[in-house]
Amino acid sequence: MSADEFQQLWKSYEEKLQKSMKLNLALMEANLNRKARVAFNWQIAFKIMMIGLGLAWNIFVGGLMWRYRTEPAFVVAALMVLSCTGYAIGGYFLQVLVMLRVNLSDSIVATQKQLAMLEVLMVRTLRVPFLQTPAYFFFFVTRHMMATSGPWFWVIEGLLVAVSIVVTIWVYRSITLENAARKGWVRRIVDNEGWKAVKRAREYAREIEDFREE
């Protein structure tokens, strides 16, 4: 069978479909109206809400930081929280921008590239705030505690902070797509919609590049 014959076959099928496929136009119209009210915009609204919450949290933490600006441990902890939350706010903001810019009537390569980028962005936004964890292990250490606490306090506190830093960095670095296939616990953490999405998005981004370069 030649290439032309395939096209002919496809054409005959089109003619058959035009006759046999039924579209319920009335129901379709009702669905269009209903779906338009609830779909995509909900996601944008959710992200805007997260930006609002993040800003409120950062204003609160920033306020506390100003109030306790003479407490070095608190200032360091607050700066960690502010930067991680700030990153998440930026991430959500970019997601909203990309979502608003995605135009399905644009070329397939351009649109799919934007959608793949959006998925990567979504997962990164979820992952980075995890790095603020150690801040919650030392923010309460006041200058007074520093001056008066005995060696056991420092041993225990130092140990807690050190362990939290090591565990946080290790967990953060371990949560990679490569490890998802190798380590059971990583697979359980990453085996959710977000990580599968980013894996596919990356594969797909590669496919797009290959497609363009070939």
Distance CA 4, CA 19 (A): 23
Looking at 36, 45, 56, 181, which residue binds another protein (CB under 8 A)?
36
Q: Give the residue with the Cβ less far from another protein, 10 or 152.
A: 10
Reading the block at residue 154, the tokens are 């420092």
Is residue 7 close enough to count as binding another protein by CB under 8 A?
yes
Per the CB < 8 A criterion, the answer to whether 104 and 176 are in contact is: no
Residue 193 identity (one-letter amino acid) = E
Residue 25 identity (one-letter amino acid) = L
Is residue 70 close enough to count as binding another protein by CB under 8 A?
no
* C-alpha triplet 58, 131, 189: angle, nearest 5°: 120
Q: Interface mask (CB under 8 A) for another protein, residues 73-102, using x and -?
A: ------------------------------
Residue for token pair 């797009």: 208
Looking at 176, 196, 202, 205, which residue binds another protein (CB under 8 A)?
196
Is residue 25 close enough to count as binding another protein by CB under 8 A?
yes
Is residue 205 close enough to count as binding another protein by CB under 8 A?
no
Residues 91-150 touching another protein, rule: CB under 8 A, are: 103-112, 115
Per the CB < 8 A criterion, the answer to whether 138 and 168 are in contact is: no
Looking at 69, 187, 188, 200, which residue binds another protein (CB under 8 A)?
200
**Strand, helix or coil for residue 7:** helix
Query: Residues in the site for another protein, rule: CB under 8 A?
Result: 1, 3, 6-7, 9-18, 20-25, 27-32, 34-36, 39-40, 103-112, 115, 193, 196-197, 200, 204, 207-208, 211-212, 214
